[in-house]
Amino acid sequence: MQMTFYDANLDKKSKKISIITLICAVLIFALVLCMHLYIQVQETRELGEKFLTVFWTNFVVRSAFQSLSFCITFILFYLSTYFVCRNIKKTDSPVLYILDRFWGRVAVCVVLSAVASSFISETVYSRYLMFKSSTEFGLVDPIFGHDIGYYIFSRPFLDALVGSVISVWMVIVLYCLVCYVVAYAVNKLLKFQRISEMKPVVVHNAVNIVIYFLLTAVTYKFRSEEVLYSNVGDFAGAGYTAINVWYNFYRVAPFLLIAIVGVTLFFMFRGKYKAMFISAAVYPVILIAVSLTAVAVQNLIAEPNEAVKERPYLEHNITYTKLAYGLTNVRETEYSADTELTSADLTANKSSFDSIRITDFDATVDAVNSLQGIRNYYKFNDADITRYNIDGKPTMVSVAVREIDKDNLSDSSKNYANEVFRFTHGFGVVMSPLNRVTTEGQPDFLIKDIPTVSVSGAPEISQPRVYYGETYDDYVVVNSTIKEIDYYENSEEVEYSYEGKGGIKLGFFNRLLYSIKNGDFRMFISQFVTGESKILINRNVRERVQKAAPFLTFDTDPYIVIDSSGRLKWIIDAYTTSSYYPYSQNFGDINYIRNSVKAVVDAYDGNIELYVTDNTDPLIRTYMKMYPGVFTDAPLPEDIAEHTVYPEYLFTIQAQMYARYHVSNPNTLYNKSDQWVFSREKHGKDEQDIVPYYNLMDVGELGGDSNFIIMVPYTLANKNNMVGWLAASCDRDSYGNLVAYHFPKGKNVYGTLQIENRIDSDPTISREMTLWGQGGSNVIRGNMLVVPIGGALVYIEPIYIASGNSAGVGGTIPELKRVIVAYGDKIAMEPTLAEALETVFDGSTPPVVSIPDDTSDTETPIPPQEETPADENVDLDNVIDRVIDGYRKAMENSQSGNWKDFGDNMQQLDDMIKQLEEYRNR
């Protein structure tokens, strides 16, 4: 039927509409991409101008790989489509209808190429940057003799590149096969049955498959190197079977595969299809034979003689694991742990004992929240440990940041204006020493309150406001027409306006963009926002530095310090990691780690500085070449460096690896006959591994009189006796130095859990804890500390009391009421560490003395109860009445939270019970 003039015009009109619609869609898509790119650039610039180097380098390289891979894959798909169309010309298949038209062919190839190139660029581009900027380690692997840098920088890129090419080619092979099958299968069953007789089709697919196998042959170089990442049992690295079977097979496999492909093609073109299939089946048969050979060698040769056959490979595992985790320079010392200490030793080591930490982390955080929260919308999320000179003396302190928690705003205060414009920042920090508490057992604050007050030589804070914190996940708008709430003074609001450099100005265009991005239309129409207003984003300091330097791994526990100018600075430890270090044992997903960078973030304006602290690390030197100018040239400032600590995350990894790799004998490693584990302690009713802890003590191997360290004790696996401990120095002169104390193998040294059990079985301690619990108090046992002193070990555990079943925010304040000291066969629990030490080392019980009040307390201390001499007659009824009366008073003081009098009551009860015991034994 002939098309009318009306139909022709309608057809032209519909084509015109389609073209206009397509153009509009493309323009909208491009506009969205441009907006997204603009926002990314804006937010990266807000992190710091220098971090645009990271953004643009990644963007350019990714785009280049995307474009190049798209062009190459488009050409490959287009040529394959062209040959498919030429070979199915005589069919009336719908495949031909689509692909034989230029725009149809282009559309199909564009879609396939876009998907394939996206996969290639994401897999390859980041590895290309490391390949291009690679740095040698100066150390080779023991099998192939390649520098370790080849495995970490070059091989991952080359392997990913070849793997991507093979994957794309496999898609092309399948694409062509599907096109042929569909073309000849739709209503053409007879032609489909004769497809194998059509030489052009057979040749096309055969060439595709041959190319695939040739590319596969190239990968065998990388497969042979992959034996380095196999395992001997649960030990990383190539073993006897991997080297003697698979390594040798992969060396000849490429030539074998090429020969088989050649023979198969020869028979195919000669029309000898039976011989062709037989020759093609040779390679799978060989693979099966090699696999069976490997199983036989492992079971018949390697396993029956593992101690001999696997020994050289286990030696490699020990050597390269220690190198990868920085354990090659651990200073190992034999520690007798059996020296007899006396009161004279106590006097000689008084300064060491005075510096020892006696407070517990969890109890400190709870107490700080209760005592210094000030307002319900403030919260101390964490307390971090560092060291300051207080009154000229090195003192280990805990520092907690008072951050704002909008979830705790009252219902009447929860509105848009308050949450976005008014409650914008936290305020100040609190600092307390870890070696002492107040007479009530509460933290003895050196920095406290709002406005911030510093006492006892603690550093002064010039800018206490915290706009960038550890828990902030929202955005706020500052410099608006309404002031921010700074703090309350005498029930009156003190207001403030932000003066920092952080944030992005909210001009009309930015207001529109961020309203769309955040789904916050109220910000766009708000009368409070002006052209001078700024939106503060990326306020979580860990996420902030991760966006600035996504190639680094950042610690999950930032900590805050006060610099010499009184500003608050967050420190976030950054790590370079890899999973490609040959023969190194894996810890989770990594087998190499260095703490090569410390990120410093200003809590007020969010400024980021990345300081390189380990220039010997090849990974950080590679990153410095990849992103020039990103890392600060200057060393870490002294006023920051003197407060840095060795990161608990890194030390925990090193300590876990050292527990297994403190040995040098491969047989000992393989048999696990000297495998260590972290000591255990009691936590409530449960047992748990001791978490590495910071302390200030004398470690002679580190030099100096008082060393700031992080340490952890070990026990033998499946045993409770202690076998050693590992420590890392936090002091500037010896920062990062590792020291290990090994205890004599033939001597039983009490482990922490054994000491815990002895504490539980001590009648005096058990009785007091039971009475506290019966009085409705919550007894909190702090972390047990192991302190090496003069060739011996002293165990210290703080005991906290809190009334009721809750503590901290919304509960009662946990107070340090007793300190337990154990040494040898002696255990004592006294109100202070000094008294407990005196009891243990003198063997005598100190006189009962009431704990003095603060000057603000006007109550009269309860005098100590006189003891009745053992040789005098005892009025039994009177003593029993006094016990009952004392117990009643103790319960009253417990329920009212009067812990000073409660402690005195308990001491009197203990004395009277001793009198009854003496009377019974007379």
Q: Which of 815, 846, 877 is the last residue of a domain?
A: 846
- Sign of the CA dihedral running 604, 606, 612, 614: positive
Q: Show which of 791, 816, 846 is a domain's final residue.
A: 846
* Domain co-membership, 769 together with 893: no
List of residues 6+ apart from 438 with CB closer than 8 A? 444, 854
300 close to 293: Cβ distance less than 8 angstroms: no
State the burial class of residue 13 (Cβ atoms within 10 Å of its Cβ: 0-12, 13-18, 19+).
exposed
Q: Is the dihedral of CA 747, 749, 750, 753 positive or negative?
A: negative
CA distances (Å), 668 to each of 119, 331, 375, 654, in order?
46, 20, 58, 19
Is the pLDDT at 504 greater than 60? The verdict is: yes
> What band does 91 get if pLDDT is binned at 50, 70 and 90?
low
* Arithmetic mean of pLDDT, 322-343: 90
Distance CA 678, CA 693 (A): 12
Q: What value does the mean pLDDT take over residues 479-508?
A: 93
Whether 869 maps to a domain, the answer reads yes
DSSP 428: -
Number of domains in the chain: 4
Question: φ and ψ at 802, to 5 degrees?
Answer: -135, 135
**pLDDT band, very low/low/confident/very high, at 7 (cuts 50, 70, 90):** low
Check pLDDT > 70 for residue 918. no
> What's the pLDDT score for residue 479?
96
**What's the DSSP call for residue 197?**
G
pLDDT score of 880 more than 80: no
**783 and 822 housed in the same domain:** yes
Residue 614 tokens read as 């380990």
**Which residues are registered as beta bridge partners of 23?**
none
| Confidence band for 856, pLDDT divided at 50, 70 and 90 | very low
Is a pLDDT exceeding 50 seen at residue 864? Answer: no
Would you say residue 526 has pLDDT above 50? yes
Whether residues 246 and 275 fall in one domain? yes
Tokens of 243: 């080297």
Does residue 189 or residue 170 have the better pLDDT? 170
Helices (H), 457-576: 508-518, 521-525, 541-548
pLDDT at 190: 47
What share of the chain has pLDDT > 90, as a percent?
57
pLDDT of 4 over the 90 cut: no
Question: Does residue 744 sit in the same domain as residue 798?
Answer: yes
Structure tokens at 190: 């007879």
The whole-number pLDDT of residue 863 equals 40
110 exposed, middle or buried (CB, 10 Å; 0-12, 13-18, 19+)? middle
Q: What is the pLDDT of residue 844?
A: 44
Contact 632, 609 (CB under 8 A): yes
Residue 787 lies in a domain: yes
User: What is the separation, in whole angstroms, between the first and last Cα of the chain?
Assistant: 129
388, 395 in Cβ contact below 8 A? yes
Q: Of 95-109, 346-360, 514-528, which has the strongest mean pLDDT?
A: 514-528
User: Does 870 share its domain with 820?
Assistant: no
pLDDT tens, residue by residue, 443-487: 999 999 999 999 988 999 999 999 999 999 999 999 999 999 999
pLDDT for 285 equals: 93
Asked whether residue 43 is domain-assigned, the answer is no
Is the model's pLDDT at 769 over the cut of 90? no
Residue 530 included in any domain: no
Q: Is 907 contained in some domain?
A: yes
Is the model's pLDDT at 775 over the cut of 90?
Answer: no
For the stretch 680-726, pLDDT in tens is 998 777 889 999 999 998 887 877 678 899 999 999 998 999 999 99
Q: Which among 778, 812, 846 is the end of a domain?
A: 846
**130 in a domain, yes or no?**
no
- What is the enclosing helix (H) or strand (E) of 516? helix 508-518
Q: What is the extent of the structural domain holding 867?
A: 858-922
Mean pLDDT, residues 819-827: 92
Q: If residue 683 lies in a helix (H) or strand (E), which one and from where to where? A: strand 680-683
* Whether 650 and 791 share a structural domain: yes
Does a structural domain hold residue 348?
yes
Say how many C-beta atoms besides its own lie within 10 A of residue 99's C-beta: 21
The mean per-residue pLDDT over the stretch 52-66 comes to: 93
**Contact indicator for 640, 600 with CB cutoff of 8 Å:** yes
Same domain, 278 and 341: no
Residues 293 and 351 in one domain: no
CA distance 344 to 637: 42
With a cut of 90, say whether residue 881 has pLDDT above it. Answer: no
How far is Cα 434 from Cα 400, in angstroms, rounded to an integer?
13
- Does the global pTM surpass 0.85? yes
Give every CB contact of residue 686 below 8 A, 6+ residues apart in sequence.
none
Across 628-637, 812-821, 866-875, which has the greatest mean pLDDT? 628-637
**What pLDDT was estimated at residue 858?**
35
Tell whether the model's pLDDT for residue 922 goes beyond 80: no
Are residue 249 and residue 275 in the same domain, yes or no?
yes
- The predicted pLDDT at position 747 comes to 85
Given this model, what pLDDT does residue 772 score?
Answer: 82
Q: What percent of the chain has pLDDT over 70?
A: 88
Output the average pLDDT for the chain. Answer: 86
Poorest-confidence range of 557-571, 619-633, 734-748?
Answer: 734-748
Residue 535 vs residue 854, higher pLDDT? 535
Contacts of 312 (CB under 8 A, 6+ apart): none
Backbone angles phi, psi at 333, to 5 degrees: -135, 135
| 8 A C-beta contact, residue 397 and residue 386 | yes
For 311-469, where are the E strands, in sequence order? 331-334, 378-380, 384-390, 393-404, 426-427, 429-433, 447-448, 453-454, 465-466
Mean pLDDT within 850-864:
36
- Residue 63 located in a structural domain: no
653/764 same-domain check? yes
Residue 12 has a pLDDT of: 65
Cis before 451 (ω within 30): yes
pLDDT single digits (tens) 254-290: 999 999 888 988 887 777 778 888 888 888 899 999 9
Radius of gyration over every alpha carbon of the chain, rounded to an integer in angstroms: 37
pLDDT for res 188: 53
What is the pLDDT confidence band of residue 77, given thresholds at 50, 70 and 90? very high
pLDDT on residue 419 = 95
Average pLDDT over residues 327-336: 92
Same domain, 769 and 918: no
Residue 761 sits in the same domain as residue 906? no
Q: What is the mean pLDDT of residues 31-35?
A: 89
